Every structure is written in structure tokens, then in C-alpha cells.
Amino acid sequence: MSTQLDRKHSEMFIDESRIATDKRPWFGALPEGLTDNFSFAVMGDRCGMMTAGVFEQGLELLKDLGPDFVLFVGDLVEGYWKDAANAREEWEYIDAQIAVTGLPFFQTVGNHDYGTQAMVDVWRERKGMDYYAFRVGDYLYLVLNTEDPFDPMSDEFIDLVKSATEKVHRDPENTLQYMKEFYDEIVSQLTPEQMKGMSQVNVGISEQQLAFAEKVLAEHADAKHTFVSMHKPGWKAESAEFARIEALLGDRPYTVFAGHFHSLEFSRQDNRTYIQLGRTGAAAHGTTRGDDNLVLWVNVRGGEISYRVVHLDGVTDAAAYPPHAHGHEEA
């Protein structure tokens, strides 16, 4: 395990036994001096079937608001490429958009980011680690990879995904129609048993990753609050691995952030809070307010944690409101 920065303020933890590389899945560094009063933002899925420009709008907003750092819950690229060149091209674009903001930005692996061997290879080539942890003052962050190992999709299914994605990119206003067509086409090709499997959340967390989580949690049992970031919501899965992580967390207060379903959900149970992030650019899976494009703003103030939702569709530049004449029309 490697430790960087000043232990009294902020530090990063990686599992050096996994991959020997100087590449990291984050941009920038945690600000110095963060202790018991700071703010961070959490962004939801940019992909799959993203609408161009929405995630970038979210980045611009956060650049203006200036959180101390940003946490991302996975699916930055459409992915599922078999050709590494295609994967690199997608990453080149979005990595540049994130880097130019200057915001410390911490990534979590999503299934679109890591869903084929080519995607895994390119992630490791560009970002190295696929799970890690960091500490900010008295607050611990554990970033997990729920695609370890990834769940491979058939070539036929990937072709369906790519076809639907192209339609959404070309005509985003009809995304819900294309999503329905995509779902109907999938259903027409599946057996009842396969349909049952479609509703299951498959979480992959390797023994090596679990050992890392156990070590970090044991060494930071004094943390006031632990934040866990994972792409697929482990609390919705029949996952022995996630159950082990919750057992390791025990009675300490903690929050789990996840994504994957493109719809915001919030629940609390005793010492734990579960937040499934909505989308930040990805296709909508429904029409409720939780299906809007949004970001989550988290304030930590003297041990108290608050969560506020910022809906991007309601945020506009002040220049969109030019002067106009005011007066009362005659009755």
C-alpha cells in the first residue's frame, strides 16, 4: 500500500500489488488543509447512450461552484469496444474535458468503462488502478470496482447496444423511443430464464480487492464517516462480496454512492445511507424528477453531512435573461 501527501490533511491509498504503474484514475490532488469543513460533488453516469454536451455542462457548473473535489460513480465512456484504438479515442476526448476544469476528479470504474478485455487493457494503460481509497481529515473514501471481473456481453448484444447508441447520439430528442425499441428487441430474443437474469444486479469484487478494502477499513476505524463509491448498487445485488464489505464497515456511519440505473434514489437505514445517483448525460430510464440530469452536492460541516440535488436542466447562464419592457396590460 502506498501513502502520499500529508497524513494530517489528505492521503491516497493504492494496492501496489495489483498493477505496478504510475498511472492513476484521478485528476489533480486533494486540496491541502481539508479537515472537518469541506464540500464535494458527486456526478452520475455520463454514458450509456449519452446526450452530447450535458456532462460538459455539469463540469462547467462545478468549475464555477468550486467544490473541493468531485467524485464520479462510473460510465464515463460508451465503451464496449473490442478495438483498443476506439477506446483510446473516447478516453482522449473526455479526459481532456475533465483535465481542463482543474478540479480534483476521482473516477470509479463502470461497466461501460471496463466491459471488454480491450476496455480493461486501455483503462490500465491510461489509469492504472481500478480501486483505491483516500482520506480527507476524519473522513474516509473507499472507491471500488464492481466489474472485477467484468461480466462479458455477447457480440450480438453489444451490436444492439451500439446500434441504439448511434440513434440516440444522432437524435437525442427521441431517446425514450429508442430506449423502448432497444428494450423490446432484447426481450424478443431472450428466454424467460434470461429475462429473469436481466433484472439482477451482478456485482464483481475480487478477493484481492476485498483484502485491500479490509486493510484500509481496519487502519481507519477512527474515521468519523466512510464514503463508499461503486458503480453498481451493491445493496440491490445478491452479493456475498458486498455483504462482506458491509460487515467490515460494521457500526461505523457510512454512505454508499452508486450509479448504473440513471435514476436518483435516497434511503437511510440505521448508520448507513444509500444514494443511487441519477444521470449526468446518460440516457433517461424514466420520466420522474429523479431521472433528470443532475449532480449531487455534499457539505461536510463540523461532523454534519448534508446532501443537495442540483438539477442541470434548471441551471442556465444569466445571459439567457435579456432586458425587456415591464408594465401592466390594461384589463
Q: Who's near 22: CB < 8 A, 6+ residues apart?
A: 128
| pLDDT at residue number 158 | 94
Query: Grid coordinates in use for 11?
Result: 492521503
| pLDDT at residue number 1 | 47
- Alpha-carbon distance of 46 to 54, in angstroms, equals 8
Consecutive H or E run containing 309: strand 304-311
What are the backbone angles phi and psi of residue 308, rounded to the nearest 5°?
-125, 140
Task: Please say whether the beta carbons of 259 and 73 come within 8 A.
Answer: yes
Q: Is the dihedral of CA 290, 295, 301, 303 positive or negative?
A: positive
Q: Who's near 91: CB < 8 A, 6+ residues apart?
A: 76, 77, 122, 126
| pLDDT at residue number 206 | 97
Average of per-residue pLDDT across 224-237: 98
- Alpha-carbon distance of 216 to 15, in angstroms, equals 10
247-275 pLDDT per residue, tens: 999 999 999 999 999 999 999 999 999 99
Q: Give DSSP secondary structure letters for 107-172.
A: ----HHHHSSHHHHHHHHHHH--S-EEEEETTEEEEE--TBSS-----HHHHHHHHHHHHHHHH-G
**pLDDT > 90? residue 197:** no
Question: CA angle, corner 8, sides to 129 and 10, nearest 5?
Answer: 30
85-141 pLDDT per residue, tens: 999 999 999 999 999 999 999 999 999 999 999 999 999 999 999 999 999 999 999
Residue 102 CB-density burial (10 A; 0-12 exposed, 13-18 middle, 19+ buried): exposed
pLDDT tier for residue 40 given thresholds of 50, 70 and 90 = very high
Q: Is the dihedral of CA 218, 220, 226, 231 positive or negative?
A: negative
Q: Who's near 179: CB < 8 A, 6+ residues apart?
A: 49, 164, 168, 283, 284, 285
Query: Grid coordinates in use for 230?
Result: 461503486
Which region among 19-33, 90-104, 282-296 has the lowest average model confidence (pLDDT)? Answer: 19-33
**pLDDT > 50? residue 5:** no
| pLDDT at residue number 298 | 98
pLDDT tier for residue 205 given thresholds of 50, 70 and 90 = very high
| pLDDT at residue number 80 | 97
| pLDDT at residue number 195 | 61
Quote the pTM value: 0.93
Q: Phi/psi zone of residue 258: left (φ > 0), alpha (ψ -120 to 50 degrees), beta?
A: beta
Average of per-residue pLDDT across 312-322: 91
- Alpha-carbon distance of 133 to 289, in angstroms, equals 32
Q: What percent of the chain has pLDDT over 70?
A: 94
pLDDT tier for residue 329 given thresholds of 50, 70 and 90 = low
Which region among 1-5, 6-10, 44-48, 232-236 has the lowest average model confidence (pLDDT)? Answer: 1-5
244-253 pLDDT per residue, tens: 999 999 999 9
211-224 pLDDT per residue, tens: 999 999 999 999 99
pLDDT tier for residue 187 given thresholds of 50, 70 and 90 = confident
